[in-house]
Amino acid sequence: MKKAADSGRGAIYIASRIFLGADKVLSPGAIAFSGGAIVAAGAPRDVERALPAGFSRREFAGAAILPGLVNAHTHLQIPRLETPGKSVSAGSSSFVEWILSVIAWKRGASPEEFRRNFESAVALALASGTTTVGEIAGPDSGVYEFCPLRARVFAEGIGIAPEAAAEVLHAVEEVLARLKRIAEKGSAAIAPGVSPHTLYTVAPLLLRGLADLAKRKGVPACLHLAESPAEMEFLRTGGGEIASRLYPAVGKDVSWFRGIGMPIPKYLEEAGLLREGLVLVHNVHLSREEIGTLTKGGARFVLCPRSNAAHGNGSPDMTYFVDAAVPFALGTDSLGSVADLCVWEEMRAARALYCGNLREEELCRALFRAATGNGATALGLPGGVLQHGAPADFVVADDPGGEGGTAIRNLVDRTDGKRTRLTVVGGAHRHERT
């Protein structure tokens, strides 16, 4: 049950500091909100001067107010995966074996488990300050009716057999319709999207159909791309472990597939997928030239460095993304890949991959922007900054200390779930540290 924080005419929260975004910090700071939206944010005196009478007031000594974090790629229904004697999630198996473990879990899990996993994952996300997610729809699309997070939920299509395209498209349209009904109820901040799973699990005919569906519905599309060496080998030649291990294990014949036969950007363009609203996830094995071409085509990127490391798939070119000012967001992937859903940890993992000459303060500013405003923009959702008219999605965390650029560096260095005091989504308290 949501707890309204802005009962009556609204509320004003005052803290020792406010991060209005990645580029502006004020000490002290305040935020006023009503009806789920921000009325004013800035210096307390300015905010209070702009308010009508009747706003409730709450003060947070030694704390900072900041935009809610955006986890731009996750699978909230996938749990930590284990097999007898070892943890699959810990990267003890090959990437293809891990995929097979996810398939086995989905086939064997009960409907009740999907909901339990979802509720547990949402609680973890909120506890570390996440207010918005880019979610790949799990097996139970009904759980999103009760989602306390703001979410872009991508209905996923998978089908390598060309003859399966029509059936898969119909199933994706059904999930989209259900998500639309949930959004229209107004009980959750849910927006739909379409996800062709990957280029190695979606046949060309289905890929074109899903791209057309997303365009007709006016929704974003999300694609896992260039995540693993096994994927890249399959896309080049039709061979490798995906052909020899993955598909035989699930009873699929892919002997007809000989690779995509062209550069990835051209393949996406010919499928009608490369356009504004395309979200590409992982991007570990793209060249800089490919990243540039995809950017010009309208794609946005989500990087998941901890998941990539856990599966031994390599790392995204963080130095290029930062130094070339390519807009990117951050995602945790699922609990099947990482130990937690903390976007702060993702920021720190990304920071460790950077090998350029940007000053620490500026690097942390870029990473905080990736985890807030960039994520919201990539998902086509409001939020990521604290300003008039934006949704009242924000976090109250322990003040990291420091002045100027040191404050943003300390924020990225020190903040985690233990330092998160309060998470607010649409003006409602969704998590509060006791």
Token duo for residue 138: 């799990």
* Residue entry with tokens 């085509």: 297
Question: Three-state DSSP class for 339?
Answer: coil
Residue 85: pLDDT band with limits 50, 70, 90: very low
**pLDDT in the model for residue 434:** 81
**pLDDT in the model for residue 86:** 45
Residue 231's closest CA among 274, 277, 270, 281? 281
**pLDDT in the model for residue 306:** 97
Average pLDDT over residues 252-275: 97
- For residues 184 and 37, membership in a common domain is answered with no
Q: Is the pLDDT of residue 4 over 80?
A: no
298, 333 contact by CB (below 8 A): no
- For residues 85 and 197, membership in a common domain is answered with yes
What is the Cα–Cα distance from 119 to 135, expressed in whole angstroms? 14
pLDDT in tens, 143-165: 999 899 999 999 999 999 999 99
* Residue entry with tokens 């390599």: 314
Please report which helix (H) or strand (E) contains residue 294, including its range. helix 288-296
What is the Cα–Cα distance from 135 to 153, expressed in whole angstroms? 5
**pLDDT in the model for residue 20:** 96
- For residues 365 and 400, membership in a common domain is answered with no
Residue 395: pLDDT band with limits 50, 70, 90: very high
**pLDDT in the model for residue 88:** 44
pLDDT in tens, 167-191: 999 999 999 999 999 998 875 599 9
Which bin fits 285, alpha (ψ -120 to 50), beta or left (φ > 0)?
A: alpha
Domain boundary among 337, 357, 379: 379
* Most distant pair of Cα atoms in the chain: their distance: 71
Average pLDDT over residues 105-119: 94
Checking DSSP bridges between strand 69-74 and strand 130-136, what pairing results, if any? parallel
Question: Three-state DSSP class for 83?
Answer: strand
- Region of poorest pLDDT, from 18-22, 84-88, 402-406: 84-88
CA dihedral (392, 398, 400, 404) in degrees, to 10, reads 40
**pLDDT in the model for residue 98:** 93
Q: What does residue 406 show for φ and ψ, rounded to 5 degrees?
A: -65, -35
Average pLDDT over residues 28-37: 96
Token duo for residue 297: 């085509």
- For residues 75 and 41, membership in a common domain is answered with no
367, 347 contact by CB (below 8 A): yes
Residue 31: pLDDT band with limits 50, 70, 90: very high
Domain hosting residue 58, numbered range:
3-68+385-432
Domain boundary among 363, 379, 395: 379
* Residue entry with tokens 């005919």: 205
Token duo for residue 369: 């922007």
**Structural domain count of the chain:** 2
- Name residue 98's amino acid: W
- For the chain, the average pLDDT equals 94
- For residues 227 and 366, membership in a common domain is answered with yes
Comparing 198 with 52, which gets the higher pLDDT? 198
Q: Is the pLDDT of residue 2 over 80?
A: no
For residue 406, give the CATH number of its domain.
2.30.40.10
Residue 81: pLDDT band with limits 50, 70, 90: confident
What would the DSSP string read from start to end of 163-189? GGHHHHHHHHHHHHHHHHHHHHHTSS-
- For residues 314 and 400, membership in a common domain is answered with no
- For residues 400 and 327, membership in a common domain is answered with no
Cα angle at 114 between 382 and 110, to 5 degrees?
Answer: 160
Domain boundary among 360, 379, 398: 379
- For residues 14 and 119, membership in a common domain is answered with no
- For residues 53 and 133, membership in a common domain is answered with no
Percent of the chain with pLDDT over 90: 90
Beta bridge partners of residue 198, listed in sequence order = 224
Average pLDDT over residues 111-128: 96
Question: Three-state DSSP class for 63?
Answer: strand
Average pLDDT over residues 62-86: 87
Residue 214: pLDDT band with limits 50, 70, 90: very high
**Length reported for the chain:** 434
Instruction: Indicate the angle between helix axes 360-370 and 405-414, nearest 10 degrees.
Output: 60
Average pLDDT over residues 404-425: 96
- For residues 34 and 159, membership in a common domain is answered with no
pLDDT in tens, 307-343: 999 999 999 999 999 999 999 999 999 999 999 999 9
Question: Three-state DSSP class for 193?
Answer: strand
46, 31 contact by CB (below 8 A): no
What is the Cα–Cα distance from 96 to 75, expressed in whole angstroms? 18
164, 430 contact by CB (below 8 A): no
- For residues 56 and 98, membership in a common domain is answered with no
Rg (CA), the chain: 22
- For residues 298 and 423, membership in a common domain is answered with no
For residue 353, give the CATH number of its domain.
3.20.20.140
